Structures are given as structure tokens and as C-alpha cells.
Amino acid sequence: MKTVNDVNFKDKKVLIRVDFNVPLNEAMEVTDDTRIKAAKPTIINVLESEGSCILMSHLGRPKNREDKFSLKHIVDAVSDVLGVQVKFVEDCIGEKAEAAVAELESGEILLLENLRYYEEETKGDREFAEKLSKLGDYYVNDAFGTAHRAHASTAIIADFFPNSKCFGLLLASEVENLNRVLRSGDTPVTAIIGGAKVSSKITVIENILDKIDHLIIGGGMAFTFIKAQGGEIGSSLVEDDKQDTALDILRLAEQKNVKVHLPSDAVIADGFSNDANTKIAPVNAIPDGWMGLDAGPDTNATFADVIANSKTILWNGPVGVFEMEKFSKGTIALGMAIVEATGNGAFSLVGGGDSVAAVKKFQMDEKVSYVSTGGGAMLEMLEGRTLPGIEALLK
């Protein structure tokens, strides 16, 4: 896997696909610059090698050239993070973009306008990719968050740089850390799969069963398993059409000697609200009109014990509605157990939007081994799929 560390960029114009799809407030200010910071090592590497950087990214899902999706709004934030004043051009292909690139000198950075102002980007249009390719001498992909999409700037463009393309440091790091869990993890390996729905995680679970020793199932999706086993779950979230699937997963895990850990108790509420009445109940005996919204104390203790005895830990999905303070204790307890295990030498990888949001909210992101930046891309790698953006670099 060739990275920017293996290339001399002196006097080269380097076209870098970054993922600057960052959240903005109503004043068009960046509210979370994590993705910009994640791309910084690659960009600085090119500058220190006396090259110049042409950054391309998408922002949101514009229907046309809506101003609120213009990357001009993030120029100041990108400049602040990189410590270099970033130039901006109001297009990503054509004369205007080519003129801005022609004026770019070594050590300078140019940010192109939103790629998705052109529908050809998401369609993976070859002609559009070729126009983008004219802007650089070298192509670097550092956008893990979009590596699972066969878009013009993430997969097709690489064809126009047969011998002058490589991985950015973030993309390489994502692949290496996920492979550390999937292929070379120290045992016991524990996967914690949570969140709302079984349906969105079936393929992930089926693919990782060959690679793990323990599977912790939490969050709303656990109730489909509990009901499938004959439990009473009240008004808790359930996918009735996935009960047979849940039982199949349990049987498959048993065949592969994977120990499955389901919740034993839950914090239940009489409404989906921070103001609801709550109590603790066995997870398989929840009264009508009540719903499970968080893992209970016995469950937290059991999960913590499994995690404490693990050497490799993958966490994807919370175990409760952590956004509401009343139902955040299970997710906090789980996170603290992972932090403690990491401190004792385990390797821990946290990925997926809600899990990442949780570790940041509770200030645990610096205390785990690795926090993945790509939700969909990570899930597809966990499902065993080859990502187009990665495959294109390896051709």
C-alpha cells in the first residue's frame, strides 16, 4: 500500500480527494472540524515535500448550485486547522479551475468548489473524472468516508493516474486499523454491535463471526433477539420480520464457537422522553406500555466483564438512547469499560456515526486506540466488501 510517505512531491501539483463534508450552523460556520484535522497530516506531508495541494471534496447533497453547500464557507476553518491560508476557486473543472491551478506555487493550497454541484460526480462519469484529472500531476485519495462509493473523484479518476496515485495517511490508517481487527487481532476479539436495527447490521455480523470470540448485542436491535427467544418486550423497538434472522445469527454464532452476550436487564420508560417515568426490568419481562431505552446495571456489569477480558475490541453502535441523559448510562458504562481495557493494553476501534458521537460527547475519543472517520465505508469493510475507492488505488 503506497502512501504519501513513499513519494517525493517536489514541484508537483497534487490532487487530493479529502472528505470535508462537515457540519455548518446557520451562520455557515463549521461546528465540527474533525474531518479537516484528519486530513491535515497528508496535506502537510505534500507541502513539506515542496509540492502544492489541490483539495477536492463534496459538501451535503445539493440539488443544484445552492449557496449553502458552497465550500467557500469552510475556507477559513480549513486555513485555521492547516495553519496555511487556503485559496478557493468557484468551480472544480474547466477554465476557472485550471487557471487557479496554473497560478498555484509550491507550498500553496487550493480548495475547489463542491464536486456535487455536478451530478456527473455521483454518477461516476468518466468524462467528468478526466476533466478533474487535468488539474493535478499526482492523485491522492484520503477520503475514507466516501471510499465505498464509485464516484468520479473517488474511483474513476484513479484510472487517469496509472503510475502516479497513492493512499493518503488517513485512508491508509483506516484500512490498517480495520484490518487489525478483522485479520490480525490479538484474541479474545470482541465485537459490540448496537444501534436501532438488526437489518442494517446483518451482513456485518455474519461476516465478522469467523473473526471474533465474543459478540455483544445491544441497543434497540437487541429486542428483536429477545422477542425471537420468546421474551416479552412491551413497546420496545422491534423488527418482527427479522426474528428468524436473529435466531439464525444465534445458531451460526454457536456453530462458530462465538459467545453471544445479550442484555439481561434494561432501563425501561413509559414514553420516549427524558421526562418519562423509568424503572429497571428484566429484558424479557417488560410490561405493556413500557419500552427499553438503555442497558440495565446487570447488563452493564456483564458487558464490562467481557470487555475487560478482551485483547481486541470493535465497537459499532450505542446500547441506549445516549442522546437523552436519562438513558445514557449504559453507553457511558460501555465506553468506560473499553477505555479501561485500552489502558490495560487492548486494541480498541470505535466506528459508526452514533458510536463516534458518543465517545466524543463523553470525552473518550482520546482514550481509545482508534476512532474511524467513515460510517458507511467502515460498515462495508466489515461486511467483507471491496471498496471502490481503495480498489482504484491498488490497480
Alpha helices in 49-157 (DSSP H): 75-82, 94-102, 119-123, 126-133
Say whether both 164 and 191 belong to one domain: no
Chain segment 248-289, per-residue pLDDT in tens: 999 999 999 999 999 999 999 999 999 999 999 999 999 999
Say whether both 73 and 162 belong to one domain: yes
Q: Is 149 annotated as a binding residue?
A: yes
Per-residue pLDDT band for 100 (boundaries 50, 70, 90) equals very high
- Kindly tell me if the per-residue pLDDT of 291 is higher than 90: yes
Chain segment 308-342, per-residue pLDDT in tens: 999 999 999 999 999 999 999 999 999 999 999 99
Q: Does the predicted model carry a pTM greater than 0.85?
A: yes
Say whether both 136 and 266 belong to one domain: no
171, 194, 210 - which closes a domain: 171
Q: Which of 126, 180, 271, 353 is catalytic?
A: 353
Query: Can you give the pLDDT at residue 182?
Result: 84
Contact predicate 162/132, CB 8 Å? no
- Kindly tell me if the per-residue pLDDT of 140 is higher than 90: yes
Q: Which of 375, 376, 384, 385 is catalytic?
A: 376
Quick one: angle between helices 169-182 and 375-382, nearest 10?
Answer: 40
Q: Which of 72, 126, 180, 197 is catalytic?
A: 197
Say whether both 229 and 309 belong to one domain: yes
Q: Is 60 annotated as a binding residue?
A: yes
Residue 93 lies in a domain: yes
Residue 248 lies in a domain: yes
Say whether both 34 and 167 belong to one domain: yes
Say whether both 105 and 240 belong to one domain: no
Query: Can you give the pLDDT at residue 159?
Result: 97
Query: Can you give the pLDDT at residue 274?
Result: 94
Say whether both 160 and 202 belong to one domain: no
Q: Is 35 annotated as a binding residue?
A: yes
- How many Cβ atoms from other residues are within 10 Å of residue 84's Cβ? 16
Q: What is the 3-state secondary structure (H, E, C) of 347-387?
A: EEEECCHHHHHHHHHCCCCCCCCEECCCHHHHHHHHCCCCC
Q: Which of 35, 211, 227, 329 is catalytic?
A: 35
Residue 392 lies in a domain: no
353 is catalytic: yes
Say whether both 167 and 261 belong to one domain: no
Say whether both 154 and 215 belong to one domain: no
Residue 237 lies in a domain: yes
143, 171, 199 - which closes a domain: 171
Q: Is 126 annotated as a binding residue?
A: no
Instruction: Give the alpha-carbon dihedral of 375, 380, 386, 391, to 10 degrees.
Output: -10
Query: Can you give the pLDDT at residue 91?
Result: 98
Residue 395 lies in a domain: no
- How many Cβ atoms from other residues are within 10 Å of residue 103's Cβ? 10
Q: What is the mean pLDDT of residues 32-54?
A: 96
Q: Which secondary structure element, helix H or strand E, spans residue 327, and what is its range?
A: none
Chain segment 165-202, per-residue pLDDT in tens: 999 999 999 999 998 888 877 999 999 999 888 888 88
Residue 195 lies in a domain: yes
Q: What is the mean pLDDT of residues 118-145?
A: 97
Say whether both 123 and 227 belong to one domain: no
How many structural domains is the chain composed of?
Answer: 2
Say whether both 264 and 345 belong to one domain: yes
Query: Can you give the pLDDT at residue 171?
Result: 96
Enclosing domain of residue 359: 185-382
Say whether both 140 and 212 belong to one domain: no
Residue 292 lies in a domain: yes
Read off the CATH number of the domain in which 289 is found: 3.40.50.1260
Query: Can you give the pLDDT at residue 160?
Result: 98
211 is catalytic: no
376 is catalytic: yes
Q: Is 21 annotated as a binding residue?
A: yes
171, 198, 216 - which closes a domain: 171
Contact predicate 52/106, CB 8 Å? yes
The answer to which of 72-81, 106-115, 211-220, 377-386 has the lowest mean pLDDT is 377-386
Per-residue pLDDT band for 367 (boundaries 50, 70, 90) equals very high
Residue 391 lies in a domain: no
Separation between Cα atoms, residue 134 and residue 94, nearest integer Å: 9
C-alpha cell at 333: 458504562
197 is catalytic: yes
Q: Is 393 annotated as a binding residue?
A: no
Separation between Cα atoms, residue 14 and residue 136, nearest integer Å: 5
Q: Is 61 annotated as a binding residue?
A: yes
